[in-house]
Amino acid sequence: MKKLLFSILLLVVGASFGAIIMWVNSYYPPAPYSQDAAAFANILKHSNVSISDDNYSCEGKPVTTVGAVFGSIIEFNNLYKRNMLSYGCINNTCALSVSSCMPWQSQECGSRILKFEIDENNVIQTNTFACIDMP
Domain boundaries, the chain: 1-30, 33-134
The string of DSSP codes covering 102-120 is -TT-SSS--EEEEEEEE-T
Whether the pLDDT of residue 28 is over 70: the answer is: no
Separation CA 131–CA 61 (nearest Å): 12
Residue 113 has pLDDT above 80, yes or no: yes
pLDDT of 57-111, one tens digit each?
888 767 789 999 999 888 888 887 777 888 888 999 999 998 887 666 667 778 8
The CB-based long-range contact list for 58-61 (8 Å cut-off, 24+ gap) reads 58/112, 58/131, 58/132, 58/133, 59/133
Query: Can you give the pLDDT at residue 129?
Result: 93
- CB-hemisphere CA count at 13 Å for 44? 10
Q: Read off the pLDDT of residues 41-58 as tens digits, 9 standing for 90 and up.
A: 889 999 999 998 888 888
pLDDT band per the 50, 70, 90 thresholds, residue 130: very high
User: Bigger pLDDT: 22 or 116?
Assistant: 116
pTM for this structure?
0.71
Is residue 13 over pLDDT 70?
A: yes
Task: Give the pLDDT of residue 105.
Answer: 67
- Residue 2: the pLDDT is 82
